[in-house]
């Protein structure tokens, strides 16, 4: 009976999450998983979401200026100086009469209301400026997302590249070990010289450091993915994917149109320019009159109790007209600053458009270069494999030396390395082109 109770109790604790769960469960990541986790967990990208929340709060703060403000205040007077008035006596020989007068009360409560009626456009411009600032911050978040997606793809492809380099190095070591076994067998029966044996051993020894370096690069690539995704370094992961060629038909003009339409930096500058324009209006409104209504309602008494006739009250309602006459030319200076900011943003936008077009064209050129290199390297791998096969057969028949076999092995290793690198350059160039066009996850389906 006790055993059954313990089992039930353990099940309840486990369901409630009181027992520790294995935190070392392997995380399997595809390319889509890597991109999704990078967007949801990368600290740098998550920081942009907080900046959007901050801009949204600033927008609400600007909208609050259109509403009246109500303030309550309570005052207790701890000490005061009383006034004394002297009145001359009408009776000869009598001293003047002194009267003590208290113009304040020990306890005062007040409600103050202020409502702006006309601000010469200052509140409207302030609200529009905050709105454009909020939209600009949203575009900055899209820019961060675009960069995060690219970084995720770069890290994912970089891991696959390092993994392929490990496979190439392992294959080279395996081929060198097999060749060493053949040379050793031939040496034992007198068909190979001591030089051939030493040459094969040296070739194998030279390949092992490359394998160690490739495996270390793979570990570094794994740490890079974990850092990007905000994962613990001790968390085991498994990357599922492969570097594959995907042919794309590119129209440079269409790519430029997409970049002008989707690139978040251009949209961000557009909102910043509109915000600067509203700042010009706000600076001008500081020199114009404003009208507001203010009201005060007061209670005061000399004793803090609520007996009848203890508290007195009075109120005032005022219509306030404010006309700034002179502020030492500060307003004109602010207007000049805002106009200069508008002109600066126009120049920055022009420079950014040129930079965006440059990045798009550069990415297209890199993609075409990687495609041509990939096609040529694919043929080189086939030729290098055939050359190694022939060299190995010739060596067994005594028609080739160990140097010939080692050279063929090195050529095959280099050919596979170049092919893998070209494949990586191609997929990365395609990701760079998507980044240059600003076609992120949610904007790909547009246009």
Distance in angstroms (rounded) separating the CA atoms of residues 63 and 87: 58
CA–CA distances in Å: residue 79 to residues 107, 238, 297, 326: 12, 76, 24, 40
pLDDT digits (tens, 9 = 90+) for 163-176: 888 888 888 888 78
- Give Cα separations from 298 to 92, 107, 114, 220 (angstroms): 45, 11, 15, 71
Q: Which residue has the higher pLDDT, 397 or 238?
A: 238
Residue-wise burial string across 63-75, b where 16 or more C-beta atoms lie within 10 A, e elsewhere: eeeeeeeeeeeee
**Rounded CA gap, 227 and 152, in Å?**
11
Distances (CA, A) of 315 to 75, 112, 318: 17, 10, 10
How far is Cα 282 from Cα 277, in angstroms, rounded to an integer? Answer: 9
User: For residues 231-246, b (16+ Cβ closer than 10 Å) or e, as one string?
Assistant: beeeeebebebebeee
Percent over 90 (pLDDT), the chain: 23
What pTM, to 2 d.p., does this model score? 0.74
Cα–Cα distance measured from residue 268 to residue 132, given in angstroms and rounded to the nearest whole number: 9
Can you give the residue ranges of every domain in the chain?
36-79+110-437
List pLDDT tens digits, range 128-163.
Answer: 999 999 999 999 999 899 999 999 999 999 998 898
- Sign of the Cα torsion 186, 192, 198, 199 reads negative
What does the mean pLDDT of the chain come to?
82
Quote the pLDDT of residue 191.
75
Task: Give the homologous superfamily in CATH for domain 36-79+110-437.
Answer: Outer membrane efflux proteins (OEP) (1.20.1600.10)
Residue range 387-396, pLDDT digits in tens:
777 777 776 7
Q: Please count the other Cβ atoms lying within 10 Å of the Cβ belonging to residue 57.
A: 12
What pLDDT band is residue 12 in, cutting at 50, 70 and 90? very low
DSSP 82: P
Q: Rounded to an integer, what distance in angstroms lies between the CA atom of residue 340 and that of residue 25?
A: 57
Q: Tell me how crowded residue 442 is: count the other CB atoms within 10 A of its CB.
A: 9
Q: Rounded to whole angstroms, how far apart are CA atoms 25 and 74? A: 61
Q: Is the pLDDT of residue 358 over 90?
A: yes
Residue 253 has pLDDT above 80, yes or no: yes
Look at residue 327 in the predicted model and tell me its pLDDT.
76
pLDDT of residue 402: 62
Predicted local confidence at residue 1, as pLDDT: 44
Q: With contact defined as beta carbons under 8 Å apart, do 265 and 379 qualify?
A: no
């Amino acid at each position: 009976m006790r055993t059954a109770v313990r089992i039930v109790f353990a099940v309840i604790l486990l369901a409630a999450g009181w027992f520790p769960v294995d935190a070392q469960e392997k995380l399997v990541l595809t390319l889509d998983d890597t991109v999704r986790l990078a967007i949801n967990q990368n600290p740098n990208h998550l920081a942009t979401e907080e900046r959007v929340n901050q801009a949204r709060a600033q927008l609400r703060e600007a909208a609050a200026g259109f509403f009246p403000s109500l303030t309550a205040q309570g005052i207790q007077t701890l000490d005061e100086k009383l006034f004394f008035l002297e009145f001359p006596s009408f009776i000869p020989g009598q001293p003047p009469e002194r009267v003590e007068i208290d113009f304040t009360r020990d306890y005062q409560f007040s409600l103050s209301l202020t409502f702006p009626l006309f601000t010469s456009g200052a509140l409207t411009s302030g609200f529009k400026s905050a709105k454009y600032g909020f939209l600009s911050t949203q575009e900055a978040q899209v820019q961060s997302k675009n960069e995060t997606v690219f970084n995720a793809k770069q890290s994912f492809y970089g891991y696959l590249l390092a993994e392929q380099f490990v496979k190439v190095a392992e294959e080279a070591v395996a081929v060198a070990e097999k060749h060493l076994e053949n040379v050793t067998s031939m040496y034992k029966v007198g068909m190979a010289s001591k030089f051939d044996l030493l040459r094969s051993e040296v070739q194998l020894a030279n390949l092992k450091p490359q394998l160690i370096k490739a495996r270390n690069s793979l570990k570094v690539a794994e740490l890079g993915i974990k850092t990007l995704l905000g994962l613990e370094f001790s968390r085991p992961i498994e990357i599922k994917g492969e570097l594959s060629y995907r042919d794309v038909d590119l129209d440079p003009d269409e790519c430029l149109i997409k970049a002008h339409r989707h690139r978040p930096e251009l949209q961000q500058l557009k909102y910043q320019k509109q915000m600067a324009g509203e700042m010009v209006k706000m600076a001008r409104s500081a020199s114009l009159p404003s009208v507001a209504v203010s009201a005060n309602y007061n209670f005061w008494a000399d004793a803090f109790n609520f007996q009848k006739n203890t508290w007195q009250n009075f109120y005032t309602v005022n219509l306030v007209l404010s006309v700034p006459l002179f502020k030492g030319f500060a307003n004109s200076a602010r207007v000049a600053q805002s106009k200069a900011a508008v002109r600066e943003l126009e120049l920055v936008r022009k420079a950014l458009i040129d930079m965006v077009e440059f990045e798009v064209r550069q990415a297209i050129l890199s993609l075409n270069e990687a495609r041509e290199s990939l096609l040529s390297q694919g043929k080189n791998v086939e030729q290098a494999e055939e050359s190694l096969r022939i060299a190995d057969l010739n060596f067994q028949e005594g028609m080739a030396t160990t140097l010939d076999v080692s050279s063929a092995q090195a050529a095959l290793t280099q050919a596979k390395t170049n092919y893998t690198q070209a494949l990586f350059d191609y997929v990365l160039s395609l990701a760079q082109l998507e980044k240059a066009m600003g076609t992120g996850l949610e904007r790909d389906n547009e246009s």
